[in-house]
Structure 1
């Protein structure tokens, strides 16, 4: 008789995975008292956006990356179309509406084969966007987040713990650690896991992460990464943000730690989540890249809607 494999162990919560304390209520009050996250948005028109370009289609064996905005990419790899943390909504709860439009119109998308979710914060898991997907779409999600999708009728939902993997259409997806946390309501802090994804063995999507030793661990387990999609925004005030988000300089160092050949910037220019000037994330990333003496062509500081090719 064939015996079913035992179900993976899932703890009550994942607080033991935290590498820094969560913000205390008095710290939240301090941020609010000092003006909160209200930078001058007068530079919003300087955020580069490619309008009306459609979505290029990958040639046979080619990998294409298109930045939609924030942490959303269209990744065309191995004949699949994959979305990372898809957010096409104009507004998410608690903050002003997006500064720049999605870089790819929803109507320009081909069939979406898979969606990868890094964690359940509202700027990464957007219910209105998820509802637009066919219910047969493969949804690859952190441990204990699967019920959120099955309640909405999705039939191919795969929960992964760190270092677990799955395959969709011949392409491998590996869930990897991050220095972050999760919460969607006041009652579910760290009840679901958080992390990043290695797609097809070549594309590392970091989701949200602070700087720490887990980035080097990813590089050790996944040598030969072609590109790291790294967050570079939401880092000021640093005393408050550094436990959950890398600064631009830390993003560059984190890319080096993973061993990735290139770095693409994300998590800036879309939503106002922090106090740094709007263009500072990409400007400081360029400065850090230059200080390390790295080839300029290997820094993909993409415009919203821009596509780059990793080649065959």
Structure 2
């Protein structure tokens, strides 16, 4: 059986009682925008009146979630950055958002891809950062309180105040392993990896908690990278060095206009394709588009540009998964 290797230079699993810094400003790749730049961005963004393209976003909402057989890995796109990943005998949710609306933006332009009632037992939830489109309070309230939750540094308290009993907060390059219920062997290792982003949930907690992505490695060697929210930069090459053989990269391709404002923290479609190459992933599945209107680009432009960039890079078309909302693919 494949043995989960220890990540190079990994400090080990994080434990409670650590002396975290007051903030993580030193992890920023670029300075945060000023209030003047924020005002200019909102003025350029303007109202989005015509959302007619939303009807062309593919939706394949099944009545029930397909179940993976033993040894199978499946991914299902729920919408935005939410995936249901069935890997190593576990069912994992990434940045779960089942709400029709989140603060500050109009309601979903496409439906939730998987009915909450059709989900099996959730074995783990991973959170990339605390922005409202990735950490949704109404959805988290629906998660059983005994569910293991893996979060960035200094975000555990948010979950414990809501009654969660199995919360692990990690720094970059740290990990935790989770085995299927009733099993003492195998399972999945969850490694928290860097991203080019930031965090804030209120006016007073800017960068008080960390941000990042996740690498999931099953005991059969299957490896999935969930990038969360990120701009383009040097971290992708380092992730490739530490976690070779990534089978699938779940990468954001939307929310990139206006480019002068979004570039440090959000990939555009061409950068997402390059990031997939950088991390050495065989396949790429797109996300962070077609759900919430967060930026100025046309609704369908992200997937169209990603497809052109993928083909220009000479990658096999079948290895680019621009999935319909609610679609499941077997790896």
- Number of the residue aligned with 1:293: 314
2:45–2:295 contact (8 Å) kept in structure 1: no
User: Which residue does 2:25 correspond to in 1?
Assistant: 15
- 1:53–1:305 CA contact under 8 A, matched in 2: no
Asked if residue 172 in structure 1 is aligned to residue 189 in structure 2, the reply is yes
Match of 2:53 among 43, 53, 56: 43
Render the CA deviation track for 1:65-94: whole Å, top value 9, x for unaligned: 000000000000111100000000000001
Counterpart Cα distance in 2 of 1:260 and 1:163: 18
* Segment of structure 1 superposing worse, 234-243 or 8-17: 8-17
Instruction: Quote the offset at 1:34 in angstroms.
Output: 2.7
1:196 corresponds, among 210, 213, 218, to 213
Residues in 1 aligned to 2:313 and 2:125: alpha-carbon distance in whole angstroms = 34
Report the secondary structure of 2:52's partner residue.
coil
Paired position in structure 2 for 1:77: 87
C-alpha distance in 2 between matches for 1:37 and 1:235: 16
Q: What is the rounded CA distance, in whole Å, between the counterparts of 1:40 and 1:243 in structure 2? A: 27
Partner of 2:239: 218
How far is 1:42 from its partner?
1.1
2:166 aligned with 1:156, yes or no?
Answer: yes
Q: Confirm whether residue 249 of structure 1 aligns to residue 259 of structure 2.
A: no
Residues 1:184 and 2:201 are matched in the alignment: yes
Counterpart contact for 1:69–1:266, Cα < 8 Å: yes
What are the within-5 Å matches in structure 2 for residues 45-194 of structure 1?
45-169=55-179, 170-194=187-211
- Contact 1:37 / 1:273 at 8 angstroms: preserved in 2? no
Counterpart contact for 1:232–1:265, Cα < 8 Å? yes
Write the deviation string for residues 266-285 of structure 1: whole angstroms up to 9, x where unpaired.
Answer: 00000000000000000000
In structure 2, the partner of 1:230 is 251
1:30 to 24, 27, 40: 40
The reply on whether 1:283 has 2:304 as its aligned counterpart is yes
Structure 1: segments with no counterpart, 5+ residues: none
1:265 aligned residue? 286
Q: Are residues 133 and 141 of structure 1, via their aligned partners in 2, closer, same or farther at CA, if it must alter by over 3 Å?
A: same
SS of match in other structure, 1:34: helix
Distance 1:13 1:212 in 2: 22
Query: Which is worse superposed, 38-47 or 200-209?
Result: 38-47
The question of whether the paired residues in 2 share the 8 Å contact of 1:263 and 1:298 is answered with: yes
Q: Distance in 1 between matches of 2:175 and 2:197?
A: 20
**TM-score normalised over the length of structure 1:** 0.96
Name the SS of the counterpart of 2:64 in structure 1: coil
Indicate the SS of the match to 1:277.
Answer: coil
| Structure 2 residues without counterparts, runs of 5 or longer | 1-14, 180-186
Mapped partners of 2:49, 2:281: distance in 1 = 32
Q: Tell me, in whole angstroms, the C-alpha distance in 2 between the residues paired with 1:147 and 1:11.
A: 15
Change (3 A) 1:21 1:292: same
